[in-house]
Amino acid sequence: MCQYKRGWARLERTHGSEHRAAATPRVIGRTAHGIVETLSGNQSVVIFAPLGYGKSVLFESIALTLRALGREPLNIAVNPLVHSVPCGSIRSQLGLAMSPTDGEFSTATLLSSAQAQTGSSHPVIMVDDAHLLDPQSMDSLYQLAAARSVVLLVTSDLVPAIDTPTTDAATIRLLDELWIRGGAERIDLEPLSPVQSGQLVREFAPTTQFDRVTLAFLHSRSGGSRLLLRELTSEAVRQQPLPDDRDRTAFALHTPSQRILDLLAHQLRGLTATQLVTLALIGSLTGISTGRASMICDAGELRDLIRRGYVYPDAERSGQLQARTLLADVALTVCDAEQLRTQQALIVSILLTDRHYGFTTTPAECVTIADSWTASGNLPPSVVDEWGSSVVADVLLVAARRSRSLGLTEKALLYSAITLRLEPGLKATIEYSRALASGERYSAALAVLANTEELLHTPADGVKLARWHMSLAKFTTMTADDFTALRTQAASWFPTSTMMHGEVDFVRLTQSVQDVDWPRVAVDGESIARNEDCDVITRIRAACLSGVGHAYDGRTAQGLGMFDLATTLNRRDLAQRDADIYSGEGLALEIFYSSAAVRCLSGFGVQVVADELDEWISRSIINHDLGNLGFLGFVAAELSQFRGDVAGTEADLRAADAQFARSDPDAWRTWIQCLHASSLARMGLMDAARAKIAKIRVLPEEMTALYQFETTRSTLKGLLTAGSTDGARLVASQLYESAEAQTPVMRAWLLDVLVGLGEPPNDLVHILDRAVATNDAPIVAALAQRTRAVAAQDAAALDLAAGQLADLGAYGIAMTASNEAAAMHELHGQSDSADLSRLRADGFSLASRQLPVNVPASLLIEPVLLTYPVLLTEREREVTSLATRGLSNRDIAKSLFLSVRTVESHLYQARIKTGQNSRGDLTSV
């Protein structure tokens, strides 16, 4: 061990860190350093990992590190051509004859040859893919390692201890003996984590801009395998949009290339026919209970699938198994078709029997059942005879919804049409209309609803029909007269029902959103959300809209409180609503993306969004809930835009647009296309931006106020990017005039733009100060601090403002502020301070793109000492006082009858206003 440490020190002194980096290439995941330390302590090591997990890369890194330390290992290369020859690989490596006489070769011969070749009395012997060795070679190596005559490093795939064409059971047993009884240390390489996958993707494709959803797809589909990740990344890079691609093609990862399929088929060839069918079925069901899996697969074979890593326990659902997506897809193509039909029929029977006894059938299971029923293109009468029309209709209805969310329009139409024929009613009629709308057959979707008023029996039915009428109308531009007509029609169904009145009010609320009347949205939405007579789904959705309205109107904390209310309401009666189109999971997604938009708008707790977003994307991909990915792509774009990552914003919106092109249940695509055009303009790709706007199906004269505002913002960003100062100032002034009747947050942003365009900051400081006094959004306070510093020509204050912006996560604006501070320092002859500001700006630029930052964190984010009077509200003083006494946020919430998020908001505001970086620093206030 001392020799090992002296070797590292000598390497550092002789060659420095640059030589060491060159000698030992960086390995994402498990590094060579600790393993080399173990080997230098004369302890053998056996490394196990599935195919493609990077064993050979790590193996080579260890060899290079040992050589750099002056210890030459003996590398025995496995030779498949001599697999059946006793000690074939060793003889081949040492140059011995392949057909020796008895006694010519022995373990002693191996030891002496190793000592001679390495020049060491205690040599290091390395074998990659040792599971392919013949038993005699493995036995010799085992004896030497157990006797501590050599230090052995071997790598091996996870394979069963049975004879196969390429492995021998005796060799596998000896590998196990090596770490169980032979004293070797066993190391199991884990799958790559999402962070490690992201790092590797950047190394594989350093010039490609991936969106957040695609990165998650690459990680999930690779199953943590370095080899698969490389192939998938290579395939995605070939689809990278070219600079002159006006369509900005999104990555398509749903159908892997033949190269990847062949690679995986090779990996699966050691499986039995039953294992292949089981793997395929678990993949199609997106998970299965261990009990059900054991009904279609032998327990030993199932354990082998788990040991190989092809099937793994679900971390979120106890007792559930998941399959690696790509492996399951390949298993489906190579397994025996007849056996697959037999086992599928068996699992369908099990699922329906369990359903009869009260067990829940998941949407993925309903699709599997529906596929088996309609394999011939229609529903056989025997299915209805066996299970009953009610059960069959319920299963097909859920399967239609699932198919529609996956963009499988034809399947959705088939299943919903059969459902409508079996069980005519409001629920089936609405679903059939939804299926037609998903195929852009809006006139037909509306025609289906012509006589639905006859199907209304309760106010709840009226609410559902009005809700779908509202959703369907959103696929076209609604005028004020259209909204009035819809409200009048809905109000006539159950005129005395308060529940129906609430839905009519929600229609009016939707009109206020379209008209960008955020103050009214905040008030009316909260009124509906707190009305217990309204439908719970209507209340949840109204709370989300109200939260957005409050945030735009400068009351972020109150807006976040509305999302707390929505979450509380959503947790009620989940089991009943999971069968509805607005399931608990679907409404939770709506709450998430609405609250994420508010946080990115205000700058309050943006990191919370990033953490939750990754969880949502991962869960949606694992569960094949691909209909969620468009909304999650929108959140990713909002997050990238707040950070200042212009290219990342465009990539995220491009991916969201592609997802909504596949499945757009809530008519989001037009809005996303507007945002995408704006992001393209910010990148200076004006031709692509114009091409995107031209594809929007809404004509300019038909655009709502919301779309018109975003289109004008797109024009402004394009002018800013092009450096057209006069044109940008004119458009910004026009936007500011229109925003006077809208929101304080948007006015603050426009004031910041005008300052950047050369407007005298002194004229705008008092306006921003008013905005800060009436607005609790942290980003507004930070922008005001920056403007104040620019007006005073105070470079030090501008540096502090940049740190405040970075503390919020707005690295792009922080970078601009630091560059402005550097210029001010130069004017004042402070070259050292200017260099430091530029260093910070470089760090902020890297942080905005989530790249490794080589600037000390203390230079990027530091305490901000505000130079203007601190104005804490009464509630902020009260919450701060309790926090400094040691109470937790939850304890404060209980004490003051507030939500935890509201307490969090008040503490954050107190920190921003007083320039404190942590909760503990508030003690000095």
pLDDT digits (tens, 9 = 90+) for 98-123: 444 444 567 888 888 888 888 888 89
* Final residue before a domain boundary, out of 159, 188, 217: 188
What are the structure tokens assigned to 168, written together?
């021998």
* Confidence category of residue 565, pLDDT binned at 50, 70, 90: very high
Per-residue pLDDT for 457 more than 80? yes
Q: What is the pLDDT of residue 23?
A: 38
* Domains contained in the chain, number: 3
The 3-state DSSP composition of the chain as helix, strand, coil percent (nearest 5) reads 70, 5, 30
Tell me the per-residue pLDDT of 864-923, one tens digit each, with 9 for 90 and over. 333 333 456 667 777 887 887 777 777 787 777 777 767 777 777 776 556 554 555 555
State the Cα angle at 638 between 637 and 641, rounded to 5°: 85
Residue 16 and residue 139 share a domain: yes
Least confident of 165-179, 687-701, 798-812: 687-701
Q: Using an 8 Å Cβ cutoff, are 156 and 129 in contact?
A: yes
Q: What is the pLDDT of residue 857?
A: 52
Residue 180 and residue 48 share a domain: yes
Residue 171 and residue 126 share a domain: yes
Report the distance separating Cα 781 and Cα 812, nearest Å. Answer: 16
Q: Which long-range contacts (CB under 8 A, 24 or more apart) does 290-295 make?
A: 290/319, 290/320, 290/321, 291/319, 292/347, 292/350, 292/351, 293/321, 295/346, 295/347, 295/350
* Confidence category of residue 207, pLDDT binned at 50, 70, 90: confident
**Mean pLDDT, residues 261-283:** 89
Residue 70 and residue 127 share a domain: yes
**Mean pLDDT, residues 80-104:** 60
Query: Which of the pair, 677 or 860, is modelled with greater confidence?
Result: 677
Per-residue pLDDT for 417 more than 90? yes
Q: What is the pLDDT of residue 93?
A: 66
Per-residue pLDDT for 318 more than 50? yes
Query: Which of the pair, 717 or 301, is modelled with greater confidence?
Result: 301
Residue 893 and residue 859 share a domain: no
Query: Which of the pair, 885 or 824, is modelled with greater confidence?
Result: 824
Residue 901 and residue 851 share a domain: no
For residue 868, tell me if it sits in a domain: no
Residue 919 and residue 796 share a domain: no
- Which amino acid is it at 615? E
Tell me the per-residue pLDDT of 687-717, one tens digit each, with 9 for 90 and over. 887 788 777 755 544 556 666 776 677 677 7
Tell me the per-residue pLDDT of 734-755, one tens digit each, with 9 for 90 and over. 777 765 445 777 777 777 777 7
Q: What is the pLDDT of residue 563?
A: 93
* Confidence category of residue 395, pLDDT binned at 50, 70, 90: very high
Least confident of 68-82, 273-287, 360-374, 604-618: 68-82
For residue 652, tell me if it sits in a domain: no
Report the distance separating Cα 634 and Cα 613, nearest Å. Answer: 11
Residue 163 and residue 18 share a domain: yes
For residue 208, tell me if it sits in a domain: no
* Confidence category of residue 161, pLDDT binned at 50, 70, 90: low
Q: Using an 8 Å Cβ cutoff, are 465 and 475 in contact?
A: no
The DSSP call for residue 774 is T
Residue 106 and residue 26 share a domain: yes
**Mean pLDDT, residues 194-203:** 87
Q: What is the pLDDT of residue 482?
A: 83
Least confident of 32-46, 99-113, 225-239, 801-815: 99-113
Q: What is the pLDDT of residue 870?
A: 43
Report the distance separating Cα 156 and Cα 175, nearest Å. Answer: 8
Per-residue pLDDT for 374 more than 80? yes
3-state secondary structure of 742: coil
What are the structure tokens assigned to 230, written together?
């490389």
Kindly report the CATH number assigned to the domain that includes residue 916. 1.10.10.10
Tell me the per-residue pLDDT of 464-506, one tens digit each, with 9 for 90 and over. 898 888 888 777 667 788 888 888 988 899 999 989 999 999 9
Q: Which residues of 507-526 are buried (b: 16+ CB within 10 A; e: fewer)?
A: bebbbbbbebbbbbbbebbb
Expressed as residue numbers, the domain containing 892 is 874-924
Q: What is the pLDDT of residue 16?
A: 43
Least confident of 123-137, 261-275, 361-375, 901-915: 901-915
Per-residue pLDDT for 165 more than 70? no
Report the distance separating Cα 523 and Cα 371, nearest Å. Answer: 47
If residue 381 lies in a helix (H) or strand (E), which one and from where to where? helix 381-387
For residue 108, tell me if it sits in a domain: yes
Least confident of 9-18, 609-618, 678-687, 707-716: 9-18
* Final residue before a domain boundary, out of 133, 158, 188: 188
Q: What is the pLDDT of residue 80?
A: 63
Report the distance separating Cα 530 and Cα 537, nearest Å. Answer: 12
* Final residue before a domain boundary, out of 143, 162, 188: 188
Q: What is the pLDDT of residue 369?
A: 94
Residue showing tokens 């006094």: 773
Residue 850 and residue 755 share a domain: yes
Q: What is the pLDDT of residue 474?
A: 72
For residue 128, tell me if it sits in a domain: yes
**Mean pLDDT, residues 338-342:** 91
**Mean pLDDT, residues 26-47:** 81
Least confident of 411-420, 614-623, 725-734: 725-734
For residue 92, tell me if it sits in a domain: yes
**Mean pLDDT, residues 845-852:** 81
Residue showing tokens 């499988």: 408
For residue 760, tell me if it sits in a domain: yes
Q: What is the pLDDT of residue 243?
A: 45
Report the distance separating Cα 186 and Cα 178, nearest Å. Answer: 9
Report the distance separating Cα 790 and Cα 751, nearest Å. Answer: 13
Residue 833 and residue 881 share a domain: no
Residue 767 and residue 916 share a domain: no
Average pLDDT over all residues of the chain:
81
Q: Using an 8 Å Cβ cutoff, are 688 and 248 in contact?
A: yes
Report the distance separating Cα 593 and Cα 675, nearest Å. Answer: 16
Per-residue pLDDT for 537 more than 80? yes
Per-residue pLDDT for 539 more than 90? yes
Q: Using an 8 Å Cβ cutoff, are 278 and 297 in contact?
A: yes
The DSSP call for residue 777 is -
Kindly report the CATH number assigned to the domain that includes residue 51. 3.40.50.300
For residue 231, tell me if it sits in a domain: no
